[in-house]
A and B are shown apart, each in its own frame.
Chain A
Amino acid sequence: MRLRLPPLDWPLAFATLGLIGIGLATVYSATSVPGAHQGLWAKQFLWFVVALGFAWIIAAVHYRLYDSIAWPLYAASLVALVAVFAIGVERLGAKRWIEFGPLQFQPSEIAKLATAFVLARFFDHARLDLRKMRWWLPPLFITMVPFVLVAKEPDLGTASSFPAMLVAMYFWAGMPASQLVLGLSPILNVMLFFLTGNVWWFAGLFVGVLAWARPRVVVLLAMLALNGAVAVTLPKIWNHMHEYQKRRIETFLNPEQDPSGSGYQVIQSKIAIGSGGLVGKGYLKGSQKALAYLPMRHTDFIYSVVGEELGLLGSLTVVLLYGIVVFRGYRLASIARDGFASLMAVGITTALFFHIMVNMLMTIGWAPVTGVPLPFLSYGGTALIVNCIQIGLLQNVALRRREY
């Protein structure tokens, strides 16, 4: 009898397994220092087995089911997000978890999946016309509700993945890139202001965007007004901010300025990665890690341990594996013939992609410290299960890519 392998997306599967393997090894290294919880890698391995089971089931069930339960699941997840404020467990000043006996889970992760399902279901429609408000406004609401709830926990890192998903799915559903950029211009405006300190950089850029998008007059006036308002009020808001609020923003932009606060973590992370050099200090031999300078070294800053111990070689390997995951995710979206499956794949992949970037850029000091774990690598059962479910969903699409 010939063994018939299921038509899984094998590059995606192997890249994922590779990342989880590196993750387990790094968790072991990060917790091999005296005083740390030394058994965490084994616990993480058990989580991996559980996560694999979840992924299997998620991949086996036809995605039609997710399509059909999208709205009830979405509603349930919103209820859970509200409940987290009442019965959630507080850790490090944030309420993100709900406890079920020994099990804990983050409603925001369920909400992320549910939102992807609902958006995919909404955009997968015969009369979809994103030029009309009736079609582009509801997705905005669908996304903003969980976004606001999650941001309030506060968990800005996870919350930001909702709009990221939305933008990618708008685009995948047919919205022209130029319109998207125009729509995002107020956000770009704010970011550029904090990066450059004045509004003129954006003003120049905005002219270019307008020339590219060529919006209708109504839209043009609306966007002009919106960005004008931002440009006028932002410096005033800045001047009225509390010192600590300003400092928080400045710390992000220049962590060396505040080496005692969150800048400490970033500086230590950069020192760890940078001192790793080309080939690293050797597995288990990271001194920054061993001497506990590196904060949250087995969770949020695990990539710094990789950088310190395995050097550029190890860091680039991880980047490559993530690249494969993201590339295969988008590839599956483009291969899938079914609209829901295709859109869902884009949403799921984008959420993963976003988390990866936020964490990696944070560890190299190019994004704020938001407390987002690195998918597949960071220690943490819930995150690993959810990430494997996401891969399971992508494999679900892969298994049925020829279906309509």
Chain B
Amino acid sequence: MPQGLPQRDKDGRFALLAGLAVASFGVVVLGLLRLQVLQHDELTRLSEQNRIRLDVIRAPRGAIRDRSGRILADNQPSFDIVFRPAPIESTLRVRAAIDPVWLRRVAGAIVGDTTDIRRKVLEANRTGQTAVLRRAAPYAVMAAVEESRSDLAGIDVQVAPIRRYPAGAMAAQLLGYAGEINDRELEERADKGYGLGDLIGKTGVERGYEDMLRGVDGAEFVVVNAMGKRVTTLEEGPPRLPVPGRDVTLTLDLTIQRALEVAMGKIDRGAAVVLDPRDGSVLAMVSKPEFDPNEFSRGISFDRWKELNSNGAFPLLNRATQSAYPPGSTFKVVCMLAGLKSGEVDPESHMPTSCNGGFWFGGRRFGCWEHGGHGSLNLVDALQHSCDVYFYQLGLHLGLDPIAQMARDLGLGERTGIDLPAEAKGLVPTQQYYNQHFHTGKWPRGVLLNLGIGQGELLVTPLQLATMTAVVANGGHAVRPHVVQSVQGQATFKIPKPVEPGVVTDQANWNTVHDAMHRVTIPGGTANASRTVPGMNVAGKTGTAQNPHGKDHALFVCFAPMETPTIALAVVAENCGHGSDWAAPVAGSLFRQIFLPDTGAVNERTLHPVVAPVDSAAD
């Protein structure tokens, strides 16, 4: 017998130890039963959630085409470097954002900024949504990421469509651009199903027609591993296919647009608009300086963004619709028409004081641009030579209301209602306006002189000028400028009715105005430079708007061919000088290109272009 061991009680002690073993293993068995029987369904669900992720399939945005179907904006696949947050239970989820080694590795691979990456990753971890760390990554970055994939937990490459503008900067402000949605937009459009990383139209047509261009994103269930890396798609749940956005066809004519860009080549800042005077379609629209919207598709850096917005030139601004200028002498057309319509003057009317280079009123001399003076002119000659002294007196004679009314009827002073966002209103002063700014009834009549020559408080956008020209050209029929002709699958798409009523007056008056404007472009007129196509008559009016901040703005409005107008053009060249020297030649260049295709300029438009009726052009 062993010494000391209590042999007598050995069986009892064994029984107790064996009982302890049974009890302990019993506890394990209870735990197993709890998990594998009682909580089986719940834990199976968690297991599925663990491995299944809902991935968005981006819907391609609708294309934007010109009136002949030529592509202005479409999509191309982009390889984005994204961060997918790990499942909520994962330690990786927390580590990813705070691990400096990981951050440095990612920043190195995608050539990015650690602060920026960290911010996006934290946000993604908070919301559980995928964050795009680098859009449209070049091949070298893709290769770097693929190479060190195993060290870059959560980093993935995702194919998503991005916007492509094949014509580059052409019509950039009109088309606008689409970029990643920002926080404010996300908040505003939360109820419309927008999410982090969505593409959204920011300006121009891209913004104005966002609801149609935007498709409905699809989704698919994918099986992922603990690193968040996609392993395969889930067989049990078929993907919900994305619905592509609708294509939008513009009234824009790429040929005319190109010609106008060429014609505006010498202008650093300014805008030009070509309307079809028969229906108000925008055929071309240029705003200078321009920008390349493709830059935004690839994801623009903050520095570049600042550069674009801070050099004073504001390339993102669509000067054609968002900038307002004094119309200068182009406004004389309005005064002339107001005078004729009221019956106060006729084509042969002379003003009491003949032009000797200036006009005294209220103890102050108002100069004429022709310092030597024009002598005594009738109405038609006064317009041809743009005699300021004549129009000072005409303004005084007519008074405020007929002129303001005519301006409004022609589409000035109110938004034209074009289908582009953030249109400027301009300003046509009325009695009410002056009553507000001076004491009621006490405003000086001197303002009428300025009004007569298109200076003073008057402000118009280049688009309004083009609209005015179109209405003059078509004999008083109001038009509503618009850029979209049809939307795919929207047969009921209608161009809204004009905002302004148009002008009702005798045909003789129209003939007078047209004749006077025609004289502007013949030798001896101020805009002979616009007459570049033999046999085609052009009717126009130059303008030189005084600019308190610098050199005068040069303006020119015209329509052609005069007898059957298909083009109504307005040109504003900022800080250039005289309209006859800078703006009228733009028209000349444009006409030469689009009506004389054999001069070598890119063109196929003839003297009698056919404009499709808008209503039947849908889809």
Q: A188-196, A200-208, A236-244, A324-332: which lies at the B interface? A: A324-332
Contacting B47 at CB < 8 Å: which of A173, A287, A339?
A287
Q: Determine whether the beta carbon of B31 is less than 8 Å from that of A126.
A: no
Q: B72-80, B184-192, B224-232, B241-249: which lies at the A interface? A: B224-232
Q: Determine whether the beta carbon of A271 is less than 8 Å from that of B5.
A: no
Pick 11 A–B contacts, CB within 8 A, sort by A: A128-B3, A174-B5, A267-B89, A270-B39, A274-B39, A274-B43, A278-B40, A292-B226, A293-B225, A323-B21, A334-B10
Contacting B3 at CB < 8 Å: which of A125, A270, A346, A366?
A125
Residues in A253-291 with C-beta less than 8 Å from chain B? 259-261, 264, 267-268, 270-278, 287-288, 290-291
Per the bound structure, the CA–CA distance linking A35 and B37 in Å amounts to 32
Contacts of A287 in B (CB 8 A): 47, 51, 223
Q: Determine whether the beta carbon of B36 is less than 8 Å from that of A264.
A: no
Per the bound structure, the CA–CA distance linking A330 and B47 in Å amounts to 40
Per the bound structure, the CA–CA distance linking A264 and B4 in Å amounts to 50
Per the bound structure, the CA–CA distance linking A340 and B4 in Å amounts to 11
Q: Determine whether the beta carbon of B3 is less than 8 Å from that of A339.
A: yes
Q: Determine whether the beta carbon of B28 is less than 8 Å from that of A319.
A: yes
Per the bound structure, the CA–CA distance linking A146 and B280 in Å amounts to 95
Contacting A322 at CB < 8 Å: which of B25, B33, B224?
B25
Contacting B35 at CB < 8 Å: which of A123, A273, A330, A339?
A273
Q: Determine whether the beta carbon of A330 is less than 8 Å from that of B14.
A: yes
**Known contacts being A274-B42, A274-B44, is A307 close to B4, with CB within 8 Å?**
no
CB of A71 to closest CB in B, whole Å: 18
User: Quick one: CB contact mask for A130-161 with B, threshold 8 Å, 1 for yes?
Assistant: 00000000000000000000000000000000
Contacts of A357 in B (CB 8 A): 24, 28
Q: Determine whether the beta carbon of A275 is less than 8 Å from that of B47.
A: yes
Contacts of A47 in B (CB 8 A): none
Q: B90-98, B209-217, B423-431, B550-558: which lies at the A interface? A: B90-98
CB of A401 to closest CB in B, whole Å: 13
Between B27, B43, B93, the greatest number of chain A beta carbons within 10 A of the residue's beta carbon is seen for: B43
**Known contacts being A274-B35, A326-B21, is A360 close to B90, with CB within 8 Å?**
no
Q: Determine whether the beta carbon of B46 is less than 8 Å from that of A174.
A: no
Contacting B36 at CB < 8 Å: which of A124, A172, A273, A291?
A273
Q: Determine whether the beta carbon of B4 is less than 8 Å from that of A126.
A: yes
Q: How large is the interface on A (under 10, 10 to 19, 20 to 34, 35 or more residues)?
A: 35 or more
Contacts of B35 in A (CB 8 A): 270, 273-274, 307, 364
Q: Determine whether the beta carbon of B33 is less than 8 Å from that of A312.
A: yes
**Known contacts being A307-B32, A339-B2, is A346 close to B17, with CB within 8 Å?**
yes
**Known contacts being A168-B17, A273-B36, is A364 close to B28, with CB within 8 Å?**
yes
Q: Determine whether the beta carbon of B31 is less than 8 Å from that of A342.
A: no
**Known contacts being A278-B37, A293-B225, is A260 close to B91, with CB within 8 Å?**
yes
Per the bound structure, the CA–CA distance linking A327 and B14 in Å amounts to 9
Contacts of B11 in A (CB 8 A): 334
Per the bound structure, the CA–CA distance linking A364 and B4 in Å amounts to 41
Per the bound structure, the CA–CA distance linking A307 and B35 in Å amounts to 10
Q: Is A216 an interface residue (CB 8 A)?
A: no
Q: Is B18 an interface residue (CB 8 A)?
A: yes
User: Quick one: CB contact mask for B33-77 with A, threshold 8 Å, 1 for yes?
Assistant: 111110110111011001100000000000000000000000000
CB of B82 to closest CB in A, whole Å: 19
Q: Determine whether the beta carbon of B37 is less than 8 Å from that of A361.
A: no
Q: Determine whether the beta carbon of B4 is less than 8 Å from that of A278.
A: no
Contacts of A127 in B (CB 8 A): 3-4
Tally of contact residues, B, Cβ under 8 A: 51
**Known contacts being A177-B16, A292-B226, A361-B27, is A353 close to B42, with CB within 8 Å?**
no
Q: Is B101 an interface residue (CB 8 A)?
A: no
Q: Is B504 an interface residue (CB 8 A)?
A: no
Per the bound structure, the CA–CA distance linking A35 and B231 in Å amounts to 13
Q: Determine whether the beta carbon of B4 is less than 8 Å from that of A274.
A: no
**Known contacts being A126-B3, A404-B1, is A291 close to B225, with CB within 8 Å?**
yes
> What residues of chain B have their CB less than 8 Å away from a CB belonging to chain A?
1-6, 9-11, 13-14, 16-18, 21-22, 24-25, 27-29, 31-37, 39-40, 42-44, 46-47, 50-51, 87-91, 93-94, 150, 223-227, 231
Given contacts A323-B25, A330-B21, 12 further A-B contacts (CB under 8 A): A123-B5, A125-B4, A128-B4, A171-B16, A174-B4, A177-B16, A274-B42, A278-B40, A340-B2, A357-B24, A364-B34, A366-B27
Tell me what chain B mostly uses at the interface: helix, strand, loop, or mixed.
Answer: helix
Q: Is A315 an interface residue (CB 8 A)?
A: yes
Residue of A nearest to B87 (CB): A293
**Known contacts being A259-B89, A339-B5, is A270 close to B43, with CB within 8 Å?**
yes
Contacting A342 at CB < 8 Å: which of B2, B27, B28, B226?
B2
Q: Determine whether the beta carbon of A292 is less than 8 Å from that of B31.
A: no
Q: Is A338 an interface residue (CB 8 A)?
A: yes
Q: Is A79 an interface residue (CB 8 A)?
A: no
**Known contacts being A168-B17, A264-B89, A353-B21, is A123 close to B4, with CB within 8 Å?**
yes
Q: Determine whether the beta carbon of B4 is less than 8 Å from that of A268.
A: no
Per the bound structure, the CA–CA distance linking A326 and B21 in Å amounts to 7
Q: Determine whether the beta carbon of A275 is less than 8 Å from that of B44.
A: yes
Residue of A nearest to B93 (CB): A260
Residue of B nearest to A177 (CB): B16
Q: Determine whether the beta carbon of B51 is less than 8 Å from that of A293.
A: yes
Contacts of A260 in B (CB 8 A): 89-91, 93-94
Q: Is A186 an interface residue (CB 8 A)?
A: no
Per the bound structure, the CA–CA distance linking A310 and B4 in Å amounts to 48
Q: Is A368 an interface residue (CB 8 A)?
A: no
Q: Determine whether the beta carbon of B224 is less than 8 Å from that of A291.
A: yes
Per the bound structure, the CA–CA distance linking A360 and B24 in Å amounts to 10
Contacting B18 at CB < 8 Å: which of A126, A315, A330, A360?
A330
Contacts of B3 in A (CB 8 A): 124-128, 339
Q: Determine whether the beta carbon of A259 is less than 8 Å from that of B88.
A: yes
CB of A52 to closest CB in B, whole Å: 25
Q: Determine whether the beta carbon of A364 is less than 8 Å from that of B6.
A: no
CB of B91 to closest CB in A, whole Å: 5
**Known contacts being A291-B50, A312-B33, A312-B37, is A334 close to B14, with CB within 8 Å?**
yes
Contacts of A126 in B (CB 8 A): 3-4
Contacts of B42 in A (CB 8 A): 274
Per the bound structure, the CA–CA distance linking A123 and B4 in Å amounts to 8
Q: Determine whether the beta carbon of B40 is less than 8 Å from that of A275.
A: yes
Q: Determine whether the beta carbon of B21 is less than 8 Å from that of A272.
A: no
**Known contacts being A273-B32, A277-B36, A319-B25, is A124 close to B93, with CB within 8 Å?**
no
Q: Is A311 an interface residue (CB 8 A)?
A: yes
Q: Is A365 an interface residue (CB 8 A)?
A: yes
Q: Is A394 an interface residue (CB 8 A)?
A: no
Between A261, A264, A278, A339, the greatest number of chain B beta carbons within 10 A of the residue's beta carbon is seen for: A264
Contacting B32 at CB < 8 Å: which of A293, A312, A353?
A312
Contacts of B225 in A (CB 8 A): 290-293
Between B9, B11, B24, B51, the greatest number of chain A beta carbons within 10 A of the residue's beta carbon is seen for: B24
Contacts of A171 in B (CB 8 A): 13, 16-17
**Known contacts being A168-B17, A339-B2, is A293 close to B31, with CB within 8 Å?**
no
Q: Determine whether the beta carbon of A271 is less than 8 Å from that of B47.
A: yes
Q: Is A316 an interface residue (CB 8 A)?
A: yes
Between A276, A340, A365, the greatest number of chain B beta carbons within 10 A of the residue's beta carbon is seen for: A276
Q: Determine whether the beta carbon of A315 is less than 8 Å from that of B32.
A: yes
Per the bound structure, the CA–CA distance linking A365 and B31 in Å amounts to 8
Q: Determine whether the beta carbon of A288 is less than 8 Å from that of B50.
A: yes
Q: Determine whether the beta carbon of A271 is less than 8 Å from that of B50.
A: yes
Contacts of B22 in A (CB 8 A): 323
Q: Determine whether the beta carbon of B10 is less than 8 Å from that of A271.
A: no
CB of B53 to closest CB in A, whole Å: 11
Q: Determine whether the beta carbon of A353 is less than 8 Å from that of B43.
A: no
Per the bound structure, the CA–CA distance linking A124 and B3 in Å amounts to 6
Residue of B nearest to A265 (CB): B91
Contacts of B46 in A (CB 8 A): 271, 274-275
Per the bound structure, the CA–CA distance linking A353 and B32 in Å amounts to 18
Contacts of B51 in A (CB 8 A): 287-288, 291, 293
CB of B41 to closest CB in A, whole Å: 9
Residue of B nearest to A256 (CB): B89
